[in-house]
Structures are given as structure tokens and as C-alpha cells.
Structure 1
Amino acid sequence: MSGPARAGLFIYAKDLPRLADFYESLLGMSRVHGTAELVILRSPDIQLTLHAIPAAIAASISISSPPELRDNAALKFFFTVRSIPEAAEKAAALGGFVQPEQWQGPGFRACNAVDPEGNIFQVRDNAA
């Protein structure tokens, strides 16, 4: 992908380096830009823009371990991974987790995952 992305996702982060490492490692994305306030990750499918929450606001946010689910969001995004069990192992090592309940869709299976800050997303792999 050259030039600006045509679509992507913007995520605000309390701990920008940790969250960027989580998505970069879990999803095999490439880091194409990084500053203390902004990290841009790319894959052939999507661009993630992670932006640091301003310090004054971040100070009022508590992140637990394991992370408390932020389940009151209106949006949930998904990523296709090579293997859900592999993604679950990697997510746990990076401070997040993949929930065990799975669903079958047309040509894929899916389950919810949680990043180190509690954001819920979905991982999918090709149905076996």
C-alpha cells in the first residue's frame, strides 16, 4: 500500500507504545510512522492510527490486568488471523486475551478478543 490509506481505524491509547506493540505483533502489521503521540500501523487490509490520549485525561483512566472490558462501544472491528488458537496465545503474552466462545460464519470462524486497554475486537480465521 503506497500513499495515504483509503480506510482505517483510529484508536486512542493510554499506553501508546504497549498498544502499538500489541497490534503490530498480534496482527503482523508494519509500523510506518511513529512519534511519542502517534503510531501508524499498516497491513494490506487496513491502516491503524493509534493516538496517545492527552496526559491530563490519561491520568484519570485506570487500566487493570487483565484489562476490564470496554463493552459499551458502538463499533467493533475485526481482523483475519492465520489461526485463532495462535492469536489467543500471542494476545495473552502481549497483555490482552481472546475469549473462548467461537461463532461460525460463511467461510470463517470468529471470536472476540480484548487488547491490553480493554478494547473489544474480533479475530477471525478461515473455517476448517
Structure 2
Amino acid sequence: MRTGLVIYASSIGRLAEFYSHVFGLDAVESDSSYMLLVDGDFELVLLETEISKTALNSHEPRENTPLKPTFFIDTRLELIGEKVKEKGGTIYPPKSWEFGGRQVCDACDCEGNIFQLRVGKNA
């Protein structure tokens, strides 16, 4: 099964640069209102609308969003953390617990969207 996620953006270019840099996603198609980024069976659609351009212009973490995308990584947390910071995001201290055999850590992208990292034991 392919999996995907749509994130509304105030700037698809900036957000695409963030997710491409941090997770190595490749842009495969776009126009002025959207960009499709992919890696294997995962698709990330960044969608820019008139409402998202104005409503999402604050880059403060959006703690009240009812969804939190999760990215499973097998890269050292320090390396991913540097990539997140390089593109304007924030990485939070790792949680003191594991979930599904992986260390859990939250982060925030350059537009304030909070996501979770689950780091493999071999990272």
C-alpha cells in the first residue's frame, strides 16, 4: 500500500526545500499551487491555497493540530537534527521512552508543523 500525506503551506517552495533536505524526498511534479515529493511508497503533497498563505504565516509551532505525521528514520538523531535546524526547523529533546522498538523525538518544520521522528536502534 502506498502512503501519503498532504500539508497545507504558506510557501510550498520553502516547505519543499525543508522536506527534501531533511528526508531526501524528490520533487516529481508541481505547479504554482502544489508540489508532489516522493520517496519509495511515500508521497508528500504540499498544497498552497489563498487561505493557507495567510492563515499559516506564523512559524510558531502549532501545538493544537490534531494530527502529527511520523517519519521512521534509520539515521542518527544528531544528523537529522542538524538538517532540521539548517532549514529553519526545531528538534525537541528525545523522549525518555520507546514506541515500537524505536526512540521517539518530536520536531517542528520551518512553517510550524509538528512531526514525530522514530529512530531505529541501529541509527
Cα distance in 2, alignment partners of residues 49 and 126 from structure 1: 25
Relative to the length of structure 2, the TM-score reads 0.87
Shift of 1:60: 4.9
2:70 to 78, 82, 97: 78
Q: Percent identity?
A: 33
Going from structure 1 to structure 2, the CA distance change for 1:110 and 1:48 (only over 3 Å counts) comes to same
Shift of 1:97: 1.3
What RMSD, in angstroms, separates the aligned Cα atoms of the two structures? Answer: 1.8
What secondary structure, in the 3-state scheme, does the structure 2 residue paired with 1:59 have?
helix
- Which ranges of 4 or more aligned residues in structure 1 deviate by more than 6 Å? none
The aligned runs of 1:15-54 (5 Å cut-off) are 15-54=11-50
**Is 1:62 matched with 2:57?**
yes
Cα distance in 2, alignment partners of residues 44 and 57 from structure 1: 28
Residues 43-80 of structure 1: per-residue CA shift (max 9 Å, x gap): 124100001131x65235432xxx31101111111112
Is the contact between residue 39 and residue 51 of structure 1 (CA under 8 Å) also seen in structure 2? Answer: yes
**Is 1:95 matched with 2:91?**
no
Is the contact between residue 104 and residue 127 of structure 1 (CA under 8 Å) also seen in structure 2? Answer: no
Letter of the 1:126 counterpart: G
Relative to the length of structure 1, the TM-score reads 0.84
